[in-house]
Amino acid sequence: MGSFARALEDFFTLRGLALPTDQSERLAAGRRKRRVDAVPELLRPAVAAFDVSRMRAQDPARRAGTRPRSDHTLETALATMRDLALFLINHRAKSDWALVDVHDVEAFLVTLPKGRKRRLTVLRQFFRFARSQKMVLLDPTGSLTAKESNGFRGRTLTLDQQRELFRRWTTVTNPPVITSLALSRGGGVRGLIK
């Protein structure tokens, strides 16, 4: 469907003059199918079954009025499974999901460190599904953690810069700033003053 046809469809459906087509659903199904087809043949049936189960889970969410997973979320999960399957075949010489262990999953997660948390979530969902379908005996993701610190990751000021900033704030005689500093540092404002 071209952009002009989509614009016409939007125009007529918004005014109640036509029913919407299923173009976006068909496109999403095609993208999912391409990702499943890219999985090596020996590992493909489990990933295809995983996709079917996730699509079935969409219906109750729609009926309940809650937000089902977006097409992008479903496609990203399949891309992660495709990447893991290719990794297992090419780098670990494993062609059965039952042979996957924690070391394989950890080695896969190391290949893209910034995507660890997102990928681990998908892998947990898949191996939970695979275990419920008796495709694997053990879930290799059970003992893994996301290992992402929740602390501040930005640039911090040096101690001298902090002291200068503190002096500037305190010379203006601004008691709320001093109070918030004292509370945020746990009463350790004296450490800033020399």
CA atoms within 13 A on the CB side of 171: 6
pLDDT at 194 over 60: no
Percent of the chain with pLDDT over 90: 42
DSSP state of 189: G
Secondary structure E strands in 62-171: none
Closest to 50 (Cα-Cα) out of 116, 129, 120: 129
Q: What is the 3-state secondary structure (H, E, C) of 87-116?
A: HHHHHCCCCCHHHCCHHHHHHHHHCCHHHH
Cα–Cα nearest to 81, from 123, 142, 124: 123
- Of 29-33, 51-55, 117-121, 145-149, minimum mean pLDDT range: 145-149
Q: What is the mean pLDDT of residues 132-148?
A: 85
Q: What is the mean pLDDT of residues 152-170?
A: 78
Average of pLDDT values for 69-75?
Answer: 88
Dump pLDDT digits (tens) for 21-51: 777 788 888 999 999 999 999 999 999 999 9
In 3D space, the residue among 149, 148, 129 whose CA is nearest the CA of residue 139 turns out to be 129
- The per-residue b/e assignment along 134-152, b for 16 or more CB within 10 angstroms, e otherwise, is ebbeebbbeebeeeeeeee
pTM equals 0.65
The tens digit of pLDDT for each residue in 85-108 reads 999 999 999 999 999 999 999 999
